[in-house]
Amino acid sequence: MSSLPAKSFAMVQTGDRILEPRDIPIPDIDEDSALLELEACGICGSDYEQFDGVLRTPTPVIPGHEPLGRIAKIGDRAAIRWGVEEGDRVAVETMLSCRHCPTCLDGRYHLCDDRKIYSYIPLTESPGLWGGYSQFMFLHGNSIVHKVDPDIAANIAVIFNPLGAGFRWAVEMPNARPGDTVVVMGPGQRGLASVIALRAVGVTNIIVTGLAADAEKLALARFYGAAHTIDVDNENVVHRVKGLTDGKGADIVVDVSSYATKPVADALQLVKVGGQIVLAGVKGFKAVDNFVSDYVVMKEVTIRGAIGVTSSGYKQAIKVIESGEIDFSPMHTHDFELKDAELAIKTLAREVQGDESIHSCLIPPK
């Protein structure tokens, strides 16, 4: 076992829109836990909401819930339970569940009654290193980790997180099959991940929607295999989808757009009779204008909410990344140094003049 440094450099959120560099003592671990030495941590849309204070978090806190790294130290029992050893590269799941409440035992561990989420546990809760904006992270005994091929570049391997969402939300939950027409609303990293996941299971009739400002992302959606893209600022999305489906509408609609509520109302109109809508984009708790529930009744539409990703989605994502068949470099637009976490968040949120990221990650110092 290599010796660990005494402290981990981390970016700590101490209030709304305040991130501060800190050196935090690296704790001891017990039989059931481990320490992760991060190689990369993905930047999520929700990181902006956490930074901005929309998603309330107890502070001080280390954000970052998309970690990829090496097992730096691991307790004997954790090594056996997780099937990993020191030096292994792993992707870490975001949710920490209790494993014994009725919901966990029912197999829906991501909805655990006593759920904790990495990056939302305050620094004051021992041992403190609960987030990925750090050199080292504490892995609680209830963590779920997945081995990842160490030969893949870290900034690409860390795409396991958004791609896992693509598999769960666009493929698994609506049971998408070849021949289905799927509308993906929103061309950000999770929209693109949905396209990649759908293509991986043989779905080709994929339509992606976005704003006029999303022209480059819509072009990327076509690069990854979307058959059609729609600029909702300049085209009528309902008419276009109807036109592309002989008036029937889409089998499946997946909404991964954030803040905008119009896609939800549109989805009800463009989904076909008996179709499915998966809602995964959060809207800042805004009500949806023009939500006509009669469409749900008359067309017998199934609407499902999707929060987070579970092991099967991550496994499929890692398999696709390890296959080397997909060129992720066009969607991975930015690496940021860990100390530049604020810039990374703002670049994703279009708060940086003249620059915008799609998939991006933080790289900690060696």
Binding mask 4-43 for Zn ion (x = CB under 5 A): ----------------------------------------
Q: How many CB atoms lie within 10 A of CB 5?
A: 13
At its nearest, how many Å lie between Zn ion and the CB of residue 148?
17
To Zn ion, the closest distance from the beta carbon of 36 in angstroms equals: 17
Strand pairing class (116-117; 181-185):
unpaired
For 1-159, where are the alpha helices, taking DSSP H only? 45-52, 76-82, 102-105, 154-157
Pick between residue 55 and residue 101 the one whose CB is nearest to Zn ion: 101
Under the binding rule (CB under 5 A), the answer on residue 97 touching Zn ion is yes
Binding mask 101-120 for Zn ion (x = CB under 5 A): x--x-------x--------
Residues 37-76 that bind Zn ion (CB under 5 A): 44
Token pair for 324: 């080397």
Q: Is 270 in the site for Zn ion (CB under 5 A)?
A: no
- Decide: 194 and 254 in contact? Cβ < 8 Å: yes
Which residue among 54, 55, 79, 98 contacts Zn ion (CB under 5 A)?
98
Smaller CB separation from Zn ion, 44 or 338: 44
Measured from the CB atom, the residue of 103 and 204 that comes closer to Zn ion is: 103
d(CA 143, CA 227): 38
- Residue 104 or residue 280: which is nearer to Zn ion going by CB? 104
Closest residue by beta carbon to Zn ion: 44
CB distance 135 to 18 below 8 Å: no
The C-alpha atoms of residue 97 and residue 47 are separated, in whole angstroms, by: 21
C-beta of 141: minimal distance to Zn ion in Å? 14
Q: Which stretch binds Zn ion (CB under 5 A): 73-81, 91-99, 237-245, 251-259?
A: 91-99
Kindly tell me which of 48 and 181 has the beta carbon lying closer to Zn ion.
Answer: 48
DSSP 263-320: HHHHHHHHEEEEEEEEE----TTPPPTT--HHHHHHTT-EEEE--S--HHHHHHHHHH
**Residue 349, number of CB atoms within 10 A of its CB:** 18
Considering the rule CB under 5 A, would residue 267 count as an interface residue with Zn ion? no
Smallest distance from Zn ion to CB 179, Å = 31
User: What are the structure tokens assigned to 176, written together?
Assistant: 């998408």
Q: β-strand 181-185 against 205-210: which pairing, if any?
A: parallel
Binding segment for Zn ion among 13-21, 96-104, 199-207, 317-325 (CB under 5 A)? 96-104
Q: In whole angstroms, what is the distance from residue 87 CA to residue 9 CA?
A: 20
Q: How many residues bind Zn ion (CB under 5 A)?
A: 6
116 or 222: whose CB is closer to Zn ion?
Answer: 116
* Binding interface with Zn ion (CB under 5 A): 44, 97-98, 101, 104, 112
